[in-house]
Amino acid sequence: MTNKNIKIMILGADGYLGVPLSVDLALKGFNLTLIDNYVKRKLSAKYLRQPLNKINKIETRVKQLEKINKNITFSNIDCRDSNRFDQIFKKVKPDIVVHFAEIPSAPYSMLGTDEGWNTLNNNLKSTYNLISSVKKHNKDCHIIKLGTMGEYGTPNIDIEEGWLDIHHRGRKDKFLYPRQGSSLYHMSKIMDTDLLWFNVRMHGLQVTDLMQGPVYGIHTSEFAKDNHLETSFAYDDIFGTVLNRFIVQAIANIPLTVYGSGSQIRGYINLKDTLQCINLAIQNPPGKDKLSIYNQFTEQFSVNELSKIVKNALKYINIDVKINHLDNPRVESEKHYYNADNKGMKKLGLKPTLLTKDTIIEIAEYVIKYKKRINKKIIQPKINWK
């Protein structure tokens, strides 16, 4: 089967990941249905957290992508709307759905009662509606769901890839790895995984759940640059990921905001590798009655290590970086054991893009182009978990 005959639906196609994935799969000739309701843009505007760069809306991007792929459509649909979502799913009957249609912010989810419920409601209902439509209209559809390494928390044992072998009182079994999220956003992702696993067991669905670490980087395909199809770049305290935020702070001559001791360890991944992983998931469906789980990161760093990597790299372009430790606004373990397995994607063929001096400088040079748009008021953390 050629790519043009494979129907892929991308939910959340306007997001940081959805934009470059849409471009990538369009260039590869897949039949694409893009879905979004611009909720991330609306929240960014409401809370005055505009991204560094302006990006075209999907309608404009589709016109650009149609230059190289005529099989692309866009529907402005809220995935929480059961009827409208079910109608488009029934019409398209996609072979694969990539599910990014969630509010992707731990700080936002902890801002207040309304924001917490909005996160739970949006994320769980989107997943529930997707599962319902798959069961009704195409049970062979491969669901590729973006999870988060934050589901696991920071346990005092190694983090396996989704599953844990248990030996108890002379018997053994295999269970989903115990998870303990540190925000309502992470809790919504945990419940997503539980919903998906339930429906794999009960209804024979096939699902790939990608436990992704914090993402950094820019989308740099020549086609994207030449046709104004770059993705958004958030750097604020609500929607910005830590490495992207550090680099913007350095360019703006603001000390890097390290929360607490900075000993917190996480697994990180370049945006380019996220695209690799999604493509590998597309090429390797788990099969009926199966839930495949991959820990989607390439390197582990503490926040202190990350800040020093930025500081040392930017010396090469004459930027003097200062580092400032703040009282931690989050409720989290700062000194902890952290060792997560990530062999799965490498076995499928992932070739990691490691965090090098050149990678930091590449992102910094991109940020410098938009230096005048940096809003220093939205960088310091203003949401307190406590």
Catalytic sites, residue numbers: 148, 185, 189
Identify the H or E element spanning 120: helix 113-137
- Distance, in Å, from the CA atom of 230 to the CA atom of 218, rounded to the nearest integer, reads 8
Rounded alpha-carbon distances, angstroms, from residue 144 to 177, 215, 282, 295: 19, 18, 8, 13
Answer yes or no: are the C-beta atoms of 296 and 277 closer than 8 Å: yes
- Distance, in Å, from the CA atom of 147 to the CA atom of 296, rounded to the nearest integer, reads 9
- Distance, in Å, from the CA atom of 251 to the CA atom of 303, rounded to the nearest integer, reads 18
Concatenating the DSSP letter of every residue in 254-278 gives --EEEETTS--EEEEEEHHHHHHHH
3-class DSSP assignment, residue 247? helix
Q: Which residues contact 254 (CB under 8 A, 6 or more apart)?
A: 376, 379
Answer yes or no: are the C-beta atoms of 150 and 106 closer than 8 Å: yes
- Distance, in Å, from the CA atom of 156 to the CA atom of 154, rounded to the nearest integer, reads 7
